[in-house]
Amino acid sequence: EAKSAGRNQYCFYQSSTGQQTADELKMEQALRHALQQRQLGVHYQPKVRLNHNTIIGFEALVRWQHPTFGNVPPDSFIPLAEKLGLISALSEQVLDTVCEDINSHGLLGLPVSVNVSVSQLTDPGFCRRLCRQLKQYNVSTHRIELELTESCLIPEQAEATMRLLTELRKQGFRLSIDDFGTGYSSLSYLRRLPIDTLKIDRSFISELPDNEEDSQIALAILAMARALGLEVIAEGIETAVQQDFLLNAGCQTGQGYLFSRPVPVTELDVTEDILV
Ligand code: C2E
Ligand code: MG
Ligand code: MG
Ligand code: MG
């Protein structure tokens, strides 16, 4: 499994001599241990309807609090898990937690999205095992959205990816393209994919509205999504000015620190579905 993991992420963990440093080895051991002991946590960030600040769903984000390393960011340990062939085990634990949280906290009855890594998509048993796992918890596939990055959509595997996404959709999962605009997927490929939503990458949102190029890119993505009949959600909204810009541009949903950081599930128990 590890060999099909993201090529561009590999070298991050190797020094220029190709040798691992002691720190990297310690991190590897710690991650294996954390998975064995099921120490990873999950936080939830609300997805919001921008005109009324009502919550329409949540994104589940994995968290790793290590006794000595402290809070290790997913952007560093997810690639490591990919490299070590541990991403399926990690993802399974995240989904276990999401299902438990849905069953014991409700999460307002709203859809929850989970992030999918590239090597999961090349795993032939992926859809079957996802469905089996949800069944164990009696959680409907309609409750779960899968977020795939553009880098998951390897052109050489276009046909296999198409089959898998079609199957996932048929099983009731909603599908979205994460970090949209940062990858290289051709528009003709994208148009054929059975997806529901594009998530505009945070990098295009953070300098709105002053950055003219970013503004044009955001508008172009919104226009394209409309033309293709896709939903759009803007990631990383931090200011009311960004929210207003997006609303005026016809973007109806968003996520970001302006509304809420990712929080533990217990904080959602006291949350109404409106954020003020
Ligand atoms: P992502 O899926 O694009 O998730 C959005 C990231 O942006 C999250 O970082 C979130 O905390 C952060 N974020 C949200 N709103 C704002 C904002 O307003 N400003 C800023 N500066 N950041 C914001 P996080 O949790 O560190 O996750 C980073 C990435 O790690 C995720 O990007 C995703 O690609 C990956 N990841 C996280 N959890 C999982 C998981 O369970 N499985 C897999 N395969 N990948 C995961
Ligand atoms: Mg995501
Ligand atoms: Mg993203
Ligand atoms: Mg990301």
Question: Tens digit of pLDDT for each residue in 71-129?
Answer: 999 999 999 999 999 999 999 999 999 999 999 999 999 999 999 998 898 888 999 99
Burial label, 15 (beta-carbon count in 10 A; 0-12, 13-18, 19+): exposed
0.90 surpassed by complex ipTM: yes
**Predicted TM-score (pTM) of this structure:** 0.93
Residue 121's nearest CA partner among 130, 112, 113 is 130
pLDDT at residue 182 above 70?
yes
Cβ atoms of 60 and 106 closer than 8 Å: no
176 CB near ligand 1 (under 6 Å)? no
62 Cβ closer than 6 Å to some ligand 1 atom:
yes
Q: Which of 44, 78, 84 to mutate to test the pocket of ligand 1 (most atoms within 8 A of CB)?
A: 78
- pLDDT tens-place string over residues 152-171: 887 788 889 999 999 999 99
Contact 47, 253 (CB under 8 A): yes
Task: Find out whether 119 and 4 touch, Cβ atoms under 8 Å.
Answer: yes
- Output the CA 181–ligand 3 centroid distance in Å: 10
Please write the tens of the pLDDT for every residue from 32-57: 999 999 999 999 999 999 999 999 99
CB distance 73 to ligand 1 below 6 Å: yes
- The alpha-helical segments, DSSP class H, found in the chain are 7-10, 22-36, 74-84, 87-105, 118-121, 126-137, 158-170, 187-192, 202-205, 212-228, 240-248, 265-269
pLDDT digits (tens, 9 = 90+) for 220-267: 999 999 999 999 999 999 999 999 999 999 999 999 999 999 999 999
Nearest CA to ligand 1 atom 12: 236
**In Å, what is the CA distance from 33 to each residue of 39, 50, 74?**
8, 41, 16
Mean pLDDT of the chain: 90
CB atoms within 10 A of CB 163: 12
| Ligand 1 centroid from CA 212, angstroms | 25
Q: In a mutational test of the pocket of ligand 1, which residue from 47, 58, 61 has the highest number of ligand atoms less than 8 Å from its CB?
A: 61
CB of 86 closer than 6 angstroms to any ligand 1 atom: no
Q: Which residues, at least 6 apart from 27, have a Cβ–Cβ distance to it below 8 Å?
A: 69, 72, 77, 80
